[in-house]
Structure 1
Amino acid sequence: MRRLIKSFGYAFSGSAYAFGTQLNFKIHCLALVLVTTLGWYLDLTLQEWLWIAGVSGMVIVAELFNTAIEVLVDLVSPSYNEKAKIVKDVSAAAVLVAALTAVVVGLIIFLPKFC
């Protein structure tokens, strides 16, 4: 049981690191709070909440992986390296794809409620 509790501590530590050091992670967290608030105000259906939860989780997970990859690349390649740049760029692109997917889903769900 102690190992399980410690593993949660490590996870919270990683989340705190990302929140404390990554501007984009903070922006995504703020967007999540705003979308959740708007969803409650507009009384989303269960299916709509499932889509919002799915894409929101996808964006947060992508951002956390991106942060981990960036830190690892900096560790193994502290000086400039073209391949290290490619790894970071592709990792950032994954976050962008996740975020754009979340925006599309959000527009599909929220736009009809305002028209």
Structure 2
Amino acid sequence: MARQINHGCHRYRRESENASGSVNRNRICVARLNVVRSSPCQIVVPTPMLKAFNHVVHAAGYSLAGFSHLFRTELAARLEIVAGILAIAWLIVLGRPIRDYVVILILFCILIAVEALNTAVERIVDRLSPELSEFGKVAKDLGSAAVFAMLAAAGVYLIAVTAEDFGLIVL
């Protein structure tokens, strides 16, 4: 008659009770690292690979939360996604090779990363300096300049690809 009990991050399976009423438990870590027959307070040390995997899973969750916040709160980020889709559509119209799609995707991934960093800078400045200040203005202007530089890079690349397609330049 094994019964599972959830306790924090571990699951216990009640195996039996001895004459004094104490419970013998098998502790099974939720990540299924290994099974330990012992008292509930003994620590289970995960294997390095499983630790790394858990770290990657948690980091991906934090990244998705960041993207979710970015796209929910920043109109500029949503417009940049639309611009990226239009850029891909333009490359399809031109009939460009895969290399051009890869380059534009890399440029737009970097653009979204810079936009996320700019948003983080804006949030920090708003928190540290809620009043108008030269410090806040300069920090926000520099973040905006970084986003503009990435938009310009993507735009220059699309113009160059288009000019090559119409025979105006050779890349």
TM-score range, shorter chain: 0.7 to 0.9
Query: What is the identity, as a one-letter code, of the residue corresponding to 2:141?
Result: D
Query: What is the identity, as a one-letter code, of the residue corresponding to 1:47?
Result: R
- Whole-Å separation in 2 of the counterparts to 1:54 and 1:47: 11
What is the TM-score with the length of structure 1 in the denominator?
0.87
Looking at CA atoms only, which structure, 1 or 2, has the larger radius of gyration? 2
Q: In the comparison of the two structures, how many residue pairs are matched?
A: 115
More strand by share: 2
Unaligned runs of 5+ in 2: 1-52
Q: Which structure carries more relative contact order (alpha carbon 8 Å, separation 6+)?
A: 1
Which is further off, 86-95 or 74-83?
74-83
Tell me whether 1:65 sits opposite 2:117 in the alignment: yes
1:88 aligned to 126, 134, 140, which one?
A: 140
What is the TM-score with the length of structure 2 in the denominator?
0.61
Which residue is equivalent to 1:48?
100
Which residue is equivalent to 2:62?
10
Matches within 5 A, 1:17-36: 17-36=69-88
Residues 51-88 of structure 1, C-alpha deviations (whole Å, 9 max, x = no match):
21232222111111111111111111122221111001
- Whole-Å separation in 2 of the counterparts to 1:111 and 1:55: 19
Query: What is the identity, as a one-letter code, of the residue corresponding to 2:106?
Result: G
Stretches of 4+ aligned residues off by more than 4 angstroms? none
% identical aligned pairs: 26
1:34 CA drift (Å): 1.3
